[in-house]
A and B are shown apart, each in its own frame.
Chain A
Amino acid sequence: MRKIVVALIMGGLLAWGMSDKELAININLAGKQRMLTQRMAKDLLMVVAGIKSQEAKEDLRSSMELFDRTIKGLMQGDKGLGLVASKEQNVQEQLKKVYSLWLPFKERVERILSGNYSKEDVAYIKEHDLKLLEEMNRAVGFLVESGKASKAQKAQAINLAGKERMLTQRIAKDLLLLHLDPNSKEAKADLQESMALFERILKGLQHGDKELGLAPTQAPWIVAELQRAQEMWEEFKARVQKAKSKEDLAKLMEMSDALLAQMNKITKMYEAIYNRRKKIASINSIVNEFVEEKEGQKHVINLAGKQRMLTQKMSKEALLAALNQGSQQNLGQLRSDMELYDRTLQGFKKGDAELGLSATTNPEVLAAIQQVEQLWNPFKEHVERFLAQGSVKDLGYIVAKNEELLKRSNDLVQTFKRAYPTEGLMDESRREIVDIAGRQRMLTQKMTKEKLLVMLGVNPEENKRKLQETIALFDRSLHDLIHGNQERLLAKPSNKAIIQQFRKVETLWKQLKPLYEKDQLSDAEKELLMKGNVLLLKEMDKAVVLCESATEY
């Protein structure tokens, strides 16, 4: 017996083809089969000894039927019992071995139940119940071993708690054997071994037993039931010492059944913990996948929003370079913004792990990307030529086409938003906030570009009008972001960090707005505006990140 237990622990670990819940059910029911072998032998001896023989007969029949159904279920699956056939070859071979032992065993049990049986039938059961138990035990071992390492240890508590059920019946059977033949050395030795093993496992379940692969049980509700089992066991042991009469033996049979019921309850509790852990792990994994997808969608919308800003930033940088305002720095920035816009656009289509983008398959999004590309490809060529040659013709193209590119970039943002459905008012509101706050970044660049065009005398009246519109839009949106606007689905922020960040933007904006509105700027004011504009973009970007990530808006 000890060898079998150690073999269970030391056995090799094989791949597993069942779900965790199915594994637990199979181990529990296969384990229960071990108990049934001993219970049937015990019932038989009760019939022979004339102890509660009618009850014993009924119990023998139901045990036989259950064993028969379960062994078939373990081999072929049984929906009603929750059993799935194991795909492991060694498990299947072992179950077949058990089944071939079971058929002649069952035949004898049926004969005993019909009342038409011989001494040989009784002897056969007495001789073969342990063999059947041993082979069934080996099948349980294969089931436990075929789980992964982490599963195996957790499954061990279910296995050994289940084994205790068998031992209650084996001990009862041994007591009956000793009653029928007080001089049976085999029965005496088996009784001693079974009682010692029962005690060791019970102790191991409570306090841990490294050799048996058991950790101390922590769950107080199981600890309480184990303590109850311990009390029942102590009482049972004391009665075994004193048992003399047939009545004493009948009482011990009752007590062994009560102990069996208690161990069954405990086994189910271990099984529940095991199943719950696995269930929660599976749920967490699905939720994580869902969250990652949602975060990915938010990230895409954020990047698409940034593309709008880049169209204006590139135009601003080209104008600043043409005005000889920090030319090298602006040209360098223009190149990197052009490359970023291009890479992000390609990333939307084909995926880009570094940018955290996966390839899109949505036809509506692909069509919108194509629309952007039709404008972007020639725009990019002109930016590249401007970077290489600094020609006015290319600058003119950039100035003329940047707003159309902005519009198409914005269409792409809206397409992404439609492609990723919202989850109710809260999510919709937050998304709107992120979109409006994100648009503010673009407006900081657009208004600077328009200011530069006015300063350069390019369509001054038209650009002045545009500039005023952009300022008004930035102003209005910042006000709504700070104070909320129900009609626009913009909630008033209550998050301190977000409020502070918006206030920071507002303070900066109050300093810069008069400069955007002033007709003639001194060199110092121009420098202040250009530096302030970069800072405004940076602070607005921080606000967008906060709006997007804060738990409570």
Chain B
Amino acid sequence: MGRIWIVALMAVLALGGEDLKVKITEDLPYVDVEVNGKIVRIQRIQDTNHKLRNSYIRTSRPAPPFYVQRFQPVEGVETIGELELLDFLQKKVNLDEGLLIDARMPQWFKQGTIPGAVNIPFSLFYSNRYTDRILSHLGVKIENGKRDFSNATELVIFDNGPWCQQAVREIKNLVQLGYPKEKIHYYRGGMQYWQILGLTTLKPE
């Protein structure tokens, strides 16, 4: 995992966007996002011989719980890919109009996440003690125990990938609490697809 970051960092230091060999799309070499007062550049690993060496090279995990998730596990919640996520980072997250949520348990999150993501573990929404406190930071107004979702923040939620159920559980919990489905997007590829494409990951401080 460490090697990936070093490679990504070296690539950022060595190359400007125009010089990148491996761009995200023809017109998009990279995307910048603000993380803790610093600008982090998301781009692809430039070494075309690079291979993953972390646990995301695994094809199979014990099931249960690691069953493959449906493409659209919750009706009404849109499933998105990497480009839509990057677009969301640029147009929503950077302008505080949306939140990218890593729904995994903190020990996963600490090993590396998508730059710009905030960790809200799926299991938190099983606890009444924390639910409303978190919702109040997602644009939900809570008055006299009633939740008003009319100004709820737009969310993109992800986890380890299509074999992981943490994001789906979080989405289901949020929908059950009344969060508008149209305000939630599911990045099904998760950390596995993100890293398979050589996109920058970040170890939270």
Contact = CB atoms under 8 A, between A and B. Distances in A.
B110 to A, nearest CB: 8
Contact of A551 (B58, B65, B108, B133): B108
12 contacts: A273-B34, A273-B94, A276-B96, A282-B137, A283-B134, A287-B134, A289-B130, A421-B127, A423-B123, A424-B123, A429-B64, A549-B107
A277 interface: yes
A424 B130 contact: no
State the main secondary structure of chain B at its contact with A. Answer: mixed
A219 B107 CA distance: 29
Given A220-B32, A272-B97, A275-B96, A427 B123 contact: yes
Interface of B: 32, 34, 36-39, 55, 58, 61-62, 64-65, 90, 93-97, 99, 105-108, 111, 118-124, 126-127, 129-130, 133-134, 137, 165-166, 169
Contact of A425 (B38, B39, B64, B96): B64
Nearest to B104: A551
B95 to A, nearest CB: 5
Interface string A146-160: 000000000000000
B121 A219 contact: no
Contact of B96 (A279, A291, A294): A279
Nearest to A492: B62
Interface of A: 218-221, 268-269, 271-273, 275-277, 279-280, 282-284, 286-287, 289-291, 294, 421, 423-427, 429, 484, 486, 491-492, 494, 549, 551-553
A524 B70 CA distance: 61
Contacts of A486: 64
Given A220-B32, A424-B169, A272 B96 contact: yes
A284 B97 contact: no
A284 B124 CA distance: 12
Contacts of B32: 219-221
Contact of A218 (B39, B55, B64, B105): B39
Contact of B118 (A272, A284, A294, A491): A284
Given A220-B39, A551-B108, A286 B130 contact: yes
A423 B134 CA distance: 17
Given A287-B119, A423-B122, 11 more contacts: A218-B39, A284-B118, A284-B119, A290-B124, A291-B121, A426-B65, A426-B165, A429-B64, A486-B64, A491-B64, A552-B55
Contacts of B108: 551-552
Contact of A286 (B58, B65, B107, B133): B133
Nearest to A294: B123
A339 B17 CA distance: 65
A396 to B, nearest CB: 47
A423 B165 CA distance: 12
Contacts of B96: 271-273, 275-276, 279
